[in-house]
Amino acid sequence: MPPNAGSVGQWDSAHLVWWAIDMATSAFHLVGNVSSDSPTAIEPVLRRLVDGTVSKTPDGFEVDGWWQGTDPRQLNRDLLTALRRVERRTRLRSEWTANGVTHRFFDYVPKGSRPASPGQSGS
């Protein structure tokens, strides 16, 4: 039951659904490399989307930041899709860590999950 919910009659099903979604949301630590045929075009979008650091590299950018969500695959898809709307030839190698598990991706393809190393962040 949601905190301070009182009796069940005070909460309709829509409120309970939104409470459940809020409770399932995690802070995912994103670490990744982005490369593109047009780095100058994607840089402003990347800086706007990533709550953290975006550093230039010879091949593109390194990112280290945070996103809120429930599913690392969907977060990865959202980020890459936004970047590819600007430049189709953009690649993303990423790791999303939350709740003690790191999920790896190359573009849209999951490359596996493993327990997070002790030094990695994630809620």
Question: In this structure, what CATH number is given to the domain that contains residue 49?
Answer: 3.30.70
Q: Is residue 40 part of a domain?
A: yes
What's the longest Cα–Cα distance across the chain?
59
Q: Is residue 36 one of the residues assigned to a domain?
A: yes
Q: Does 57 map to a domain?
A: yes
Separation of alpha carbons 75 and 31, rounded Å: 13
How many domains in the chain? 1
Identify whether 87 is part of a domain.
yes
For residue 15, is it within any domain? no
Let me know if residue 69 belongs to a domain: yes
Res 36: pLDDT? 96
pTM of the model as a whole: 0.77
- Report the C-alpha gap between 94 and 73 in whole angstroms: 10
In a domain, residue 44? The reply is yes
Give the integer Cα–Cα distance in Å for 95 and 48. Answer: 19
Among 50, 20, 42, 33, CA closest to 91: 33
64 — alpha (psi -120 to 50), left (phi > 0) or beta?
beta
Q: For residue 97, how far is the Cα from the chain centroid?
A: 9
Tell me, what amino acid is at 120? Q
Q: Which domain holds residue 67?
A: 26-115
Supply the pLDDT for residue 120: 62
Q: State the distance between the two ends of the chain, measured CA to CA, in whole angstroms.
A: 22
For the chain, 123 residues long, give each residue's pLDDT as a single digit of tens. Answer: 444 444 445 556 665 555 555 557 899 999 999 999 999 999 999 999 999 999 999 999 999 999 999 999 999 999 999 999 999 999 999 999 999 999 999 999 999 999 998 766 555
In a domain, 102, yes or no: yes
